Structure 1
């Protein structure tokens, strides 16, 4: 593979880059793959994203931009599946992926999540295509605490992730924290794991300009409450229940308003109901908004209007929303865990909080909101931190890794 231009195939079996993050099973992974794919396409590489058809309306091939297409494979029923159901369609997806690539091959395959990797692995071997694997999250045994990672949503996940750590040509991690998990939990080979840092769209996610902030400043000067924002799927792993408990501990006169952006995964309505019930039980109904999932532009507007973002996730391979808040000039209070330690610079762009004690979280929220000058300093530092990250730099690093994996294969 000597050509300067690469042909790259991303494999996303269980979720589509066409889905709005925060809906279905779309989340940070969707944002990452689409942003990296767009940056690769803009650099002149030919990029195809293979995903499963989950409705009958979307065409079989969607061109997102020059050099970037999404190809929908008819594996399983053309409807939304619960995450755990996808293991049943992996074999069909693999067969259809092999046919698509036999007709029009690529220089490298990049599988996203274990479903995609196990489906792509026999295809890569059969057609002689090097395979890079990204996990985005790594399962922990069912009896493990939430901080150890997601539960295996289907029977083959634990074994599938371990198999990929040894049989994929290279593993791509999004943070040093994820790299360490691959080595410790999956017994991966350190010589076959590479970290590709994530980027952020600093044009879309930007601080409030003067005109936008006028109304917000007037509101606060008139005694209005500052706003705290939570962003992500309504799933227990995200820890939104802890954020509600923490804010409920603050005296009513000091409570900020709370905005929750995100929707339930296909099989997760029970947790969403529990969050709504908790808001009512704590008398926070008039100061809490559930926005559901938002388009990226709307999300950016909501984030830059907030005084503070909370990321109480029990575990994150990185925590992209924390970097999006930083780009927006909004300080973050995040859990002291996993990749969040890399997304937030403690004491400079936000604070890291250990554990599940709502009182500790409440004290941190109260202290930071009371220090308006400190919030401004942190917001400026956060923006500077985010400006050092770009999706083009992330894509450039991917190209280096792709060339390495191709030369190894």
Structure 2
């Protein structure tokens, strides 16, 4: 099977790869799945993405490209659910998955997130099809700091993640940091955990042209403000409140504009209200924009026109926005947490900040905005680094992992 075409089924219970990242519960995981699935199909493999029907209007199948199809299975109500509501759907979705695979067989199942893994595990055992598990985020107990991971959104999460670390045939993580968490917190077997780093589309995410750069310089010369941007799901784990507080701490005469890109998850309205109130209380209504979730092409445009990108997330298994900013030639200021330590090369493509104090972030932002030569150096190095991280290379590494697993069966 060394060069044979593979039949691969990605199993994604709680979110659809058709959803725009930054909406609903869609985020970096959705980007990784869709990009790797598309590359697998281009390389001649037969790929299906199996997800839950979250709207009655969704068709049973959506062909995204030759060899790549999304399948919507019925499990629970055909409507959008809060993330924590999916735990009760694990068994029904697993039953629907088993029935689906009778007519759409696969050589291996790749479950994304713990809901999907628990649904797929009994199916894999009953059919003899190997199960690959990816987490993309790993929960931490309620009493631990947010820097350790997400809060469990459902009661069975921690136990479920530990079970999958023991029982899945292989665990694929997106960073060395996530691998360490799987081993230390979940009790994973080092022999069955592999790291496959994500890639980035360096054509969609590109630096400004000379003309765009000149227009930006002219804008600032005539009184326009430099812009810092923060993007992701509007969720407390992502630290948007810290971004607002940091910008607010900068002296008003030097304060940049702030662009916030993303939308809340289905249960996230309270946090969004707090963000809007924080902006109002800081007197930043005129210089802050809430853009909502953006199509990838529009996000790329916003990124390349930003002066700096902030990633104040308390925890990230990797941090795709850091790669997308790097590909755009824009330096990143990121929290020194999890996989961000690997996505951002400290002092070379951006800066890592080991603090949750707004004044510390404000000082770094302010200093960089006044050092144009350093911003240019960081941006050029970031672009060069991003050019070494393609989705093709990421997917070829994933295929190698798949073939290693299948060869051992």
Q: Would you say same fold, with TM above 0.5?
A: yes
Runs of 5+ unmatched residues, structure 2: none
Cα displacement string for residues 103-129 of structure 1 (whole angstroms, at most 9, x for unaligned residues): 221111100000000000000011110
Match of 1:321 in 2: 321
Residues in 1 aligned to 2:8 and 2:301: alpha-carbon distance in whole angstroms: 33
Confirm or deny that 1:403 pairs with 2:403. yes
Match of 2:308 in 1: 308
Match of 2:48 in 1: 48
Match of 1:281 in 2: 281
Residues in 2 aligned to 1:204 and 1:230: alpha-carbon distance in whole angstroms: 18
User: Is the Cα contact below 8 Å between 1:227 and 1:307 reproduced in 2?
Assistant: yes
- Measured after TM superposition, the shift of residue 211 of structure 1 is 2.6
TM alignment of 1:29-108, pairs within 5 A = 29-108=29-108
- Measured after TM superposition, the shift of residue 2 of structure 1 is 5.3
User: Is the Cα contact below 8 Å between 1:200 and 1:327 reproduced in 2?
Assistant: yes
Match of 2:130 in 1: 130
Confirm or deny that 1:245 pairs with 2:245. yes
**2:291 alignment partner, SS class:** strand
Residues in 2 aligned to 1:184 and 1:251: alpha-carbon distance in whole angstroms: 43
What is the aligned-residue RMSD (CA, Å)? Answer: 0.8
Match of 1:199 in 2: 199
Residues in 2 aligned to 1:81 and 1:122: alpha-carbon distance in whole angstroms: 24
**1:294 alignment partner, SS class:** coil
- Measured after TM superposition, the shift of residue 132 of structure 1 is 0.4
User: Is the Cα contact below 8 Å between 1:258 and 1:289 reproduced in 2?
Assistant: yes
Runs of 5+ unmatched residues, structure 1: none
Following TM superposition, where does structure 1 have runs of at least 4 consecutive aligned residues deviating by more than 6 angstroms? Answer: none
Shift in CA distance, 248/393, structure 1 to aligned 2, threshold 3 Å: same
Count of residue pairs brought into register by the alignment: 409
User: Is the Cα contact below 8 Å between 1:197 and 1:394 reproduced in 2?
Assistant: yes
User: Is the Cα contact below 8 Å between 1:117 and 1:164 reproduced in 2?
Assistant: yes
TM alignment of 1:10-409, pairs within 5 A = 10-409=10-409
**1:123 alignment partner, SS class:** helix
Per the normalisation by structure 1, the TM-score is: 0.99
Residues in 2 aligned to 1:360 and 1:189: alpha-carbon distance in whole angstroms: 39
User: Is the Cα contact below 8 Å between 1:230 and 1:309 reproduced in 2?
Assistant: yes
Residues in 2 aligned to 1:319 and 1:10: alpha-carbon distance in whole angstroms: 21
- Measured after TM superposition, the shift of residue 154 of structure 1 is 0.6
- Measured after TM superposition, the shift of residue 216 of structure 1 is 1.4
Per the normalisation by structure 2, the TM-score is: 0.99
Residues in 2 aligned to 1:172 and 1:56: alpha-carbon distance in whole angstroms: 33
Residues in 2 aligned to 1:182 and 1:69: alpha-carbon distance in whole angstroms: 30
User: Is the Cα contact below 8 Å between 1:131 and 1:405 reproduced in 2?
Assistant: no
- Measured after TM superposition, the shift of residue 3 of structure 1 is 5.3
User: Is the Cα contact below 8 Å between 2:2 and 2:403 reproduced in 1?
Assistant: no
- Measured after TM superposition, the shift of residue 101 of structure 1 is 0.8
**1:297 alignment partner, SS class:** helix
User: Is the Cα contact below 8 Å between 1:325 and 1:331 reproduced in 2?
Assistant: yes
User: Is the Cα contact below 8 Å between 1:142 and 1:151 reproduced in 2?
Assistant: yes
**2:117 alignment partner, SS class:** helix
User: Is the Cα contact below 8 Å between 2:205 and 2:325 reproduced in 1?
Assistant: yes
Residues in 2 aligned to 1:104 and 1:354: alpha-carbon distance in whole angstroms: 48
User: Is the Cα contact below 8 Å between 2:226 and 2:256 reproduced in 1?
Assistant: yes
- Measured after TM superposition, the shift of residue 406 of structure 1 is 1.6
